[in-house]
Structure 1
Amino acid sequence: MAMIPRRTLAFVIFAVGCLSALLVLVFRLIDNRAQAFSAASVLISGIALTGVVVSLTFQAQQTKAARDERDRSTHRQMIYLTMGDRALAECLEPPNAPMPFERYRQFIFANLIIGRWYAAHQLGDVDDSTLRYTLERHFRGEIGRAHWEYGRHDWLRGAIGGQQRKAAAFADIVEDCYKAAVNAGPAVPTADYFTHEGTDLDPQNS
């Protein structure tokens, strides 16, 4: 069952509260009961109309969210196929500069990671502070930095050059975190990510 967004729920509660207060005020100020009930009927109709508008708005939002998720799922499936098949990857646009296919696959996957955070930020599931914390860790690594350095122009041009304020805010945060990571020092090389097989990783013995 879909959950009603907090902003929508807050608006409904506020609207119902205001209209209810108006109902009480009408009965207190209007001595003529017939006129009071007539005014109350108008207010009740307003409450009902507000409910219909909110319901239709929510349904439209849910339909759009479902359509967007379907499109993203199709896109992810296509990307996963190209990551495993060089012949299919050649159907996409060529990289900005020639590179080994393995590095190209890493960049594609890193782009999926950034895309996931982008979607969560747009939906309000991830706030700015959480996004910054996540990106600070992401840009400690070699591939994270290399990917953003490679693809940042397309991200910044597409987001900041567009009309969506939140998209531009997301791109600004990613760029700020990337620059901060570069200024903090070199990235952790991928060769240093993992220990040799069989190494004891028990925190008590470290």
Structure 2
Amino acid sequence: MVLAGAALTLVSPLGLRVFGGTNKEWERLSLIGQTYGAISALIAVLALLGVIVTLVYQARELRRAADESRRQAMGDLLRMAMADPDLDECWGPVDGADDARARKQLMYTNMIVTQWGTSFRAGATPENRLRANAMEMFRGEVGRDYWAQARVSRLSAPGSRAEARFNQILDEAFGAAVAEAPIPAPRHVPPRPDTRPRFQLRRAAPALLAFGVGGAVTGAVLTALGRRRS
């Protein structure tokens, strides 16, 4: 549109000849040419609006790319923690009673939910598909364990309108899945090994026997020496 307006402006002197007069009547032609001032201003405004829209779109794409890079980096860190228990402890203290397999499953489930959120905010995943995926996940024990732990923090954390809607859909799917089938009993967690020192009679029996025999021998010797002196 801007190029078309510029082309019309360039050829406008030729079109002015239809109004009559000779080429030397520039004053009359200039008065008629002033009628194009409004069109020129409109073209300038449209060009400015086009530049503004382009800048806004570029800024939005930059934010989306930065957000995607951040989520990718977080996913890489989680994968490293899942593969190495020593790195997993860097995220915080790990209770010895925690099941390593269950913890790894919860971390992987968090990566799945994060990917769903990115796709939903980008408009690639509609609400009905997200709801169906969440329902399928929350029918399982691992998915229910994850949302039971992450529900409060996700629903209370401030965020964009799309992110709030995403968490609301997941919570509604969780409630529907629980209504279909009650929450199963908590998974078996192996008891934490007791590292406190305990007195074991079987291992201490030889030492006690040796101590008793030594005491008896020492007493007999002292008794014999006492009688000898007497």
1:77 corresponds in structure 2 to 76
State yes or no: 1:170 paired with 2:166. Answer: yes
Q: Which amino acid aligns with 1:170?
A: F
Match of 2:132 in 1: 133
| TM-score normalised according to structure 2 size | 0.62
Any conservation in 2 of the 1:139–1:187 contact (CA below 8 Å)? no
Cα distance in structure 1, aligned partners of 2:178 and 2:143: 11
Once the two structures are superposed, residues 38-90 of structure 1 have per-residue CA deviations (whole angstroms, 9 ceiling, x without a partner) of 10101111111111111111111122122122211111111100001111000
1:147 counterpart residue number: 146
Q: Structure 1, unaligned stretches of length 5 or more? A: 1-15, 21-31, 190-206
Q: Take 1:128 and 1:98, find their aligned partners in 2: how far apart are those partners?
A: 38
Q: Give a deviation string over 1:179-198, Cα, whole Å, max 9, x none.
A: 11011014799xxxxxxxxx
Distance in 2 separating the partners of 1:95 and 1:124: 37
1:109 & 1:188 partners in 2: Cα distance? 21
AA aligned opposite 1:52: V
Please give the secondary structure, in 2, of the residue aligned with 1:124. Answer: coil
What does the per-residue CA deviation read over 1:114-159, in whole Å, with 9 as the maximum and x for residues that have no partner?
111111112222222221111111212221111111221221222x
- Which whole-Å CA distance do the structure 2 matches of 1:147 and 1:95 have between them? 17
> Offset at 1:36?
3.4
Match of 1:93 in 2: 92
Give the deviation of 1:94 after TM superposition: 4.2
Counterpart in the other structure of 1:49? 48
- Which structure has the larger Rg? 2
In structure 2, the gaps of 5 or more residues are: 6-30, 186-230
Distance 1:153 1:95, change over 3 A: farther
Q: Which amino acid aligns with 1:104?
A: R
Coordinate RMSD, CA, aligned:
2.5
Residue aligned with 1:87, SS = helix
TM-score (normalizing by structure 1): 0.68
Relative to structure 2, which stretch is displaced further, 52-61 or 106-115? 52-61
The verdict on how the C-alpha distance between 1:163 and 1:148 changes in structure 2, with shifts beyond 3 A counting, is: closer
CA–CA separation in structure 2 for the residues paired with 1:96 and 1:65: 37
